[in-house]
Amino acid sequence: MKKKFLDLGTHPLANAFLSKKEIKHPKREYFYKLSVGFDTKSYLVSLMRTVNPKKQYTDKYAHRASQSMTMKHSFKNIANILKKRFKPRISLEIGSNDGVFIQNFKKKKIIAVEPCANLARITKKRGFKTYAKFWTKMLAKRISKFCKKVDLIFSANTISHIPDYKETFDAIDILLSNNGVLVVEDPYVGSVLKLNSYDQFYDEHVYVFSLMAISNIIKSSGLRIFDAEEISTHGGSMRYYICKEQSKFKLTKRFNILYKKEIKYEIDKFSTYNSFSKRIKKSKKDLVNLFKNLKRKNKKIISYGATYKSTTVFNYCNIGKNFLDYVIDTTPNKQGKFTPGKHVPIISPEKGFNITVDYAFLGAWNFKKEIMSKEKNFIKRGGKFITHVPKARII
Ligand code: DWN
């Protein structure tokens, strides 16, 4: 039974950055109720209601995974590890975005699946076989006509975005070879609980997985987890190594250690999520008070990184032009647009990150290390960063 534990109010689509034209018709902006629940049987954490993927994954999709060095290095590293460990004859990526993972494979050795046409065009142009489709059993059957089976399926920050997980994993079972491996990485519920990072919840993040929950939901597709590792990307993620029920792979030691950790932290108890919800209410109050105090001192505050995550923070805490002068972001197709719901202008760092800025909220807090090392001059001249994870504070 799914029990609601967090109500974040009414939100726009996290990816719905508005153009100058769209901003003139604010009434046309789509809003939905964002609340999160816990399933007492499967232990799955998920949105209480989902948005139609056709509204979200269009040919205007804004996120470019290659906009961060951290992710480029992370995907290069895991690609080499997987090629070495599993020696796949042929691989496939579900949710290939702008090709930041598949670019580490020979073109003939990997197939890309990416429903957002603007992104699929990028990898097609680079010579990769790309299906601009949603991942379904029908697509898996179509691809199996082209290459029979695949030995490695990789999917980062995608499977958690697909409402029908039964369809997703059944489709994987169709295409994966008997001793093939599915590697999934997604934001980890253990990290969300530890960091109070409620901004991992938005329309695209239908699920925030745990080892326990994934193990439960893949069973009916004839799949099982045999290995797992916690990774630091995207604010704390988990990488799941999954195979067919009858496959040769044995449970690894690190899987058992991580599974025991989930039992210790009561990932399977509703009360864990109730206490999280109380911490989030306090986090909101503390962040708004921090902004109010800085504005009382006439400080100039911007946000660093027009992230989908910060769409949740700003619309939950009612942070907009009342506190922020603008948002800076390196992604060209976000510059000149306005943030979803709060309509704060987004400009390039070249234009906006200058000596007039006193404080920068870390919208892209998951890249804190990369950002702090990049912005040494800002810090040296007395500029300060603000974050909300794990607590609202000035860094
Ligand atoms: O799951 C998802 C993750 C992978 O990407 C998608 N549903 C949507 C998206 O979420 P996000 O926008 O919260 O992801 P990021 O990768 O945290 O976004 C970082 C943003 O910050 C990008 O727009 C690029 C920008 N950025 C910047 O302006 N300066 C990033 C860095 C590192 C920088 O130095």
Q: What is the pLDDT of residues 145-173, one digit of tens each?
A: 999 999 999 999 999 999 999 999 999 99
Decide whether any atom of ligand 1 lies within 6 Å of the 64 Cβ.
no
- What's the pLDDT at 256? 98
Distance CA 206, CA 330 (A): 26
* Span from the CA of 365 to the centroid of ligand 1 (angstroms): 9
Distances from the Cα of 366 to the Cαs of 35, 276, 291, in angstroms? 22, 20, 21
Residue 68 Cα: closest atom of ligand 1: 32
Pairing mode, strands 150-156 and 176-187: parallel
Please give the mean pLDDT across all residues of the chain: 97
Q: Which residue type occupies 253?
A: K
This prediction's pTM: 0.96
Q: Exposed, middle or buried: residue 104 (CB in 10 Å: 0-12, 13-18, 19+)?
A: middle
* Span from the CA of 14 to the centroid of ligand 1 (angstroms): 12
Distance CA 111, CA 151 (A): 12
Q: Which residue type occupies 326?
A: Y
350-360 burial, b for 16+ CB within 10 Å, e for fewer?
A: eebbeeebebb
- List, for residues 268-326, the tens digit of each pLDDT value: 999 999 999 999 999 999 999 999 999 999 999 999 999 999 999 999 999 999 999 99
Alpha helices in the chain (DSSP H): 53-56, 69-86, 117-125, 137-147, 165-175, 189-195, 211-218, 253-264, 270-296, 308-317, 349-352, 368-374, 376-380
Decide whether any atom of ligand 1 lies within 6 Å of the 306 Cβ.
yes
The confidence band for 26, taking pLDDT boundaries of 50, 70 and 90, is confident
Distance CA 301, CA 359 (A): 5
Distance CA 180, CA 173 (A): 10
Instruction: Name the DSSP letter for residue 71.
Output: H
Q: If you compute the radius of gyration of the chain from its CA atoms, what whole number of angstroms results? A: 21
Q: Which residue type occupies 394?
A: I
Look up tokens 């967090």; give the residue. 6
Residue 300 structure tokens = 């100039």
Nearest CA to ligand 1 atom 1: 157
Helices (H) and strands (E) in the chain, counts: 13, 17
Starting at the edge strand found earlier in the chain, the sheet holding 31-39 runs: 2-12, 31-39, 45-47, 207-208
Decide whether any atom of ligand 1 lies within 6 Å of the 157 Cβ.
yes
Decide whether any atom of ligand 1 lies within 6 Å of the 234 Cβ.
yes
User: Mean pLDDT, to the nearest integer, of 82-91?
Assistant: 98
Instruction: Name the DSSP letter for residue 302.
Output: E
